Structures are given as C-alpha cells and as structure tokens.
C-alpha cells in the first residue's frame, strides 16, 4: 500500500523502530540511520549487555529496513544526511535539539529542503517534562494499578511486554500516515509531535474508563474473574488458556471434557467452579489437550512454559 514511499527512521530502542516496522510492513522503503559510533542501544551498549532480548528485538524491528550508519561527528555529516532526506517522504525523529541542529534536522533546515515532508517527533509527555520509560507511562496513567490489584507482595515483577511502548509505536505510525496525507494536500512540511504518555491514555482509556475506576473494579473478564476466561495449570506444568465466553463454546468445552456445568454458570465467581475446572485440567498433559483440540474449536489454547 505504501510502495514508492520512503521513510527515514532516526529513532532508536522500541517505539520509533516499531513505527518504522509497521510502515515497512505496509510497503514503505524505510531507511534507518544510526551513528556508527553510538549505535541503537538495543544493539550495542547497556541495554544489549544486560538482556539479550533487546538485541533480538532490534533484529526483529529492523530486519526489513535499509540500515545506514554515519559518523555523526564528521564535518560533512549535514550533507550526507541531506542526501538521504532528499529521497524522503516522511521522517521519524527522536534526537536531542543539539543533535538535530548538527545533522540538519532542525525545523528550518527541513523546510529549506523544498519537499513535502511528514515529520514525526517522539517525546515522553506533553505536560510532564521528566524522562519516562514504558513502566513510568503505565504507572502515571493509572493502568499499572490493574497489574497490582489483589497483590500484597513486597516486590512485584512488571509485565514482560512493554505495552506502553508498543501502543506508542503503533500511534506514531498512525500519526505519520495522517501527516503524509496532510503534507500532500497542503504541499508543505508537516511537523507533528507524538507523546508516549498521551498515547497510552488515549489508546487504553476506553478499556478502563473513569466510570470503571470510580466503581473500584479490579477484576475483569480478561484477567480471570470468571471460570470461562482464565489460565489453568496442566499435569506437566504447562497451562491452558480457556476463553469459552460464548455459550456455544462453553457447551462444546463441557461436552468434550464431560463437565456438567450449565452455560449460565460460566460467569459465576464461586471458587468451587474454578477448582472444578482446575482439577480437571490437572489430570492432563499438554499433548493430551492438543490431541483433543485437533477437531474441536472452543477457544482453548496451550500456554507452554519457556
């Protein structure tokens, strides 16, 4: 869909590169520009050194891009970057003001290129000037409260996946697409700033509105409030994810496993029902469940422990 569109990705770590990946998946030619000395922190440096997951994330987020590395301190760097910008339709930016000026990526320099450009700059928050990572955005927006509901541990492990950063990356891609349309219609450079915190609030708020917060709800269908939608351990230590919400799926599930639990009870919160299903699954190995699922379709999936 975006064949013929070129995007310059001057971001690092997660949100910007994810946005670039989304655009690349849509057919855009994405050129990721990095400093040859100070590479993306997910590839080299403290992040890559303390957790190998980051290196893998870097490869996955950027494998369809054209990676180009320049010496950002070279006396000819402005001209080198300009040569790349003259091919571009859109730019993703997450650099300091000082570095943008050194590379010719400040607003005045970009306007002087004489091209219709969509420029998206990534920042933490429109209001809060403090530095912010994924966990901070989830905490400040209130959504991390759902993760600690009903817990009383002194130390709680955060969610593994960086949900705020992932949401932000998708938002940045959408913002760039909208800016591309505007740049084409107005025959101009369009500058837009996308914010991590604000994107989290915008994207997640419909699922935990002020109305729900006022009710102090901390148990939802999607986090194990009901026996039809939860995780259960198997005999071999693996788990199953049961999501038989619809009456048809629940009835098929009960029939397959000879359970006598009426569909009206699938939303019951009685501990006895959870235990009944838990005791059932505790008798099976993962391969036995898979064998039962081959010809069935009632929203049951294996969750294998790594």
| Residue 213 domain flag | no
pLDDT score, position 294: 86
Edge-to-edge strands, sheet with 118-123: 66-70, 29-35, 6-10, 90-93, 118-123, 190-195
Same domain, 28 and 163: yes
Q: In the structure encoding, which two tokens stand for residue 37, read together? A: 């000395």
pLDDT at 34 (0 to 100): 97
Q: In what order do the strands lie in the sheet with 239-243?
A: 229-233, 239-243, 300-303
Domain count, the chain: 2
pLDDT at residue number 45: 85
Question: Minimal CA–CA distance to 239: which of 273, 282, 279?
Answer: 282
CATH of residue 266's domain is 3.30.1540.10
Domain boundary among 177, 204, 231: 204
CA atoms within 13 A on the CB side of 93: 24
Distance CA 88, CA 119 (A): 10
295 and 162 inside one domain: no
Q: What phi, psi does 113 have (nearest 5°)?
A: -70, -20
> 250 and 144 in one domain?
no
Instruction: Based on the fold, state whether residues 181 and 114 are members of the same structural domain.
Output: yes
- Do 157 and 226 share a structural domain? no
Are 138 and 200 within 8 A, CB to CB?
Answer: yes
What is the per-residue pLDDT for 214?
Answer: 79
Do 152 and 230 sit in the same domain of this protein?
Answer: no
**CATH code, 106:** 3.40.50.10540
**Domain match, 140 and 246 both:** no
Q: Establish if 216 belongs to a structural domain.
A: no
The last residue of a domain, from among 204, 239, 264: 204
Model pLDDT, residue 290: 93
pTM of the model: 0.88
Whether residue 36 is found in the same domain as residue 168: yes
Nearest to 239 by CA among 169, 299, 302: 302
The answer to whether residues 156 and 227 belong to one domain is: no
Residue 210 lies in a domain: no
Q: Are residues 95 and 146 part of one domain?
A: yes
pLDDT < 50 regions, the chain = none
Give domain status of residue 209, yes or no: no
Last residue in a domain, options 172, 204, 236: 204
Q: 185, exposed or middle or buried, with CB in 10 Å at 0-12, 13-18, 19+?
A: exposed
**Could you tell me if residue 244 is inside a domain?**
yes
Has residue 143 been placed in a domain? yes
Are the C-beta atoms of residues 228 and 267 closer than 8 Å to each other? yes
Same domain, 267 and 189: no
Domain hosting residue 125, numbered range: 6-204
Looking only at the bridges linking them, the beta strands covering 239-243 and 300-303 are antiparallel
pLDDT at 93: 98
Identify whether the C-beta of residue 167 lies closer than 8 Å to the C-beta of residue 202.
Answer: no
Instruction: Give yes or no: residues 150 and 193 share one domain.
Output: yes
Cα atoms found within 13 Å of the Cα of residue 190, Cβ hemisphere only? 20
Q: Is residue 284 part of a domain?
A: yes
pLDDT at residue 216, rounded to an integer: 63
Please give the angle made by the CA atoms of 288, 291 and 295, to the nearest 5 degrees.
Answer: 150
Q: Is residue 273 part of a domain?
A: yes
């Amino acid at each position: 869909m975006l064949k013929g569109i070129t995007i310059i990705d001057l971001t690092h770590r997660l949100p910007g590169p994810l946005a670039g990946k989304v655009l690349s998946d849509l057919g855009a030619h994405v050129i990721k520009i990095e400093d040859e000395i100070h590479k993306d922190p997910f590839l080299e440096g403290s992040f890559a050194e303390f957790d190998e997951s980051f290196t893998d994330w870097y490869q996955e987020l950027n494998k369809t891009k054209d990676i180009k590395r320049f010496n950002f301190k070279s006396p000819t760097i402005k001209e080198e970057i300009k040569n790349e910008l003259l091919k571009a339709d859109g730019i993703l930016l997450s650099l300091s003001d000082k570095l943008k000026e050194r590379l010719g990526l400040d607003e005045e320099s970009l306007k002087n290129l004489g091209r219709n450009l969509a420029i998206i700059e990534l920042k933490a928050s429109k209001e809060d000037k403090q530095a912010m990572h994924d966990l901070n955005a989830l905490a400040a927006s209130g959504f991390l409260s759902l993760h600690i509901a009903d817990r009383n541990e002194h130390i709680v492990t955060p969610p593994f996946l960086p949900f705020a950063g992932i949401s932000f990356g998708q938002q940045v891609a959408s913002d760039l697409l909208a800016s591309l349309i505007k740049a084409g219609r107005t025959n101009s450079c369009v500058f837009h700033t996308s914010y991590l915190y604000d994107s989290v609030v915008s994207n997640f708020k419909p699922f935990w509105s002020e109305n729900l917060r006022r009710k102090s709800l901390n148990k939802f269908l999607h986090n194990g409030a009901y026996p039809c939608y939860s995780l259960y351990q198997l005999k071999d230590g693996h788990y199953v994810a049961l999501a038989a919400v619809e009456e048809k799926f629940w009835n098929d599930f009960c029939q397959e496993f000879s359970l006598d639990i009426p569909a009206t009870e699938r939303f019951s919160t009685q501990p006895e029902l959870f235990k009944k299903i838990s005791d059932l699954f505790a008798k099976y190995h993962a391969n036995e469940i898979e064998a039962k699922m081959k010809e069935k379709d009632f929203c049951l999936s294996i969750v294998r422990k790594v």
